[in-house]
Amino acid sequence: MEFTPEIRNSISEHLGSFLGDERIGIIKRVLSNRTRYITVCLEDIYQSQNASAVLRSAEAFGLQDVHIVENAHSFSINPDVVRGSDKWLTIHRYDSSACPTSDAIGNLKSKGYRIVATSPHVDGVALEDFDLTKGKAAVFFGNEHNGVSQTLLDQADEFLYIPMYGFTESFNISVAAAMTIHTLRGKLSEQNIDWKLNDEEHDELLYSWLNKAVKRPELIIKRFLEENSCLK
């Protein structure tokens, strides 16, 4: 059911009353550190444990959105790896056209994101030198054997790599993503960037999370609206 922002916020306040002060405090603290300035995109990852580990890292470092591009391989979340972290994320899937990668790129660009391809084989910027002040970044990671697709390489705005000093040519996808997210998230705190959620995003996400944090939220909301008919 859709509600006006005013009714939704009243419901959120009511739902929050069913949680202890410590729990609601944790939710609000985590929410205050959420960002959509950086987002992660996984292109055709076919090992579920690797992609699931990326979801867990993204949530832990405060990213809200993860984009899953399913070209040849579909993705199933591994519950033993994510440990419930996925329920706090907004997951976007692209799998219903001839070129899901192009769909993802088009959607992200329409929202103002720079398309950043990670690859050790293309000239780009080292992770520690990546400039976040230029605008929002959607960072793409390719699959375990072939990396990102040629479609992505052709349409990317920028390229990013993690410097390596050994014989190994690449990191495991989950390791590379965790390193990248950690480094870029640190840059947000160091630079004068408006990375926080806006008021509307904040309130929508709080409502969504509270629905997941309390038991039987539908029943609670129904009773609340019945007792407060003036809100309908």
Query: What is the pLDDT at residue 96?
Result: 81
| Residue 3 DSSP SS3 | coil
Q: Going by DSSP bridges, is the β-strand pair 125-126/90-94 parallel, antiparallel, or unpaired?
A: unpaired
pLDDT value of position 152: 94
Rounded Cα distance, 228 and 155, in Å: 52
pLDDT (0 to 100) of residue 114: 97
Q: How much is the pTM?
A: 0.92
What's residue 23's pLDDT? Answer: 95
The mean pLDDT of the chain is: 92
116-175 pLDDT, tens digit each: 999 877 789 999 999 999 999 999 998 877 788 899 999 999 999 999 899 887 888 899
Give pLDDT, residue 231: 65
Query: What 3-state DSSP class applies to 150?
Result: helix
**How far is 66 from 135, CA to CA, in rounded Å?**
18
pLDDT at residue 111 in the model: 97
User: Mean pLDDT across the stretch 35-50?
Assistant: 90
Q: Which CATH number fits domain 36-193: 1.20.1740.10, 3.40.1280.10, 3.30.930.10, 2.60.40.640?
A: 3.40.1280.10
Q: Which amino acid is at 93?
A: R
Share of the chain above pLDDT 90, in %: 72
Per-residue model confidence as pLDDT tens digits over 214-226: 999 999 999 999 8
Q: What ranges do the domains of the chain cover?
A: 1-34+196-232, 36-193
Q: What's the mean pLDDT in 46-70? A: 92
- pLDDT over threshold 80, residue 232: no
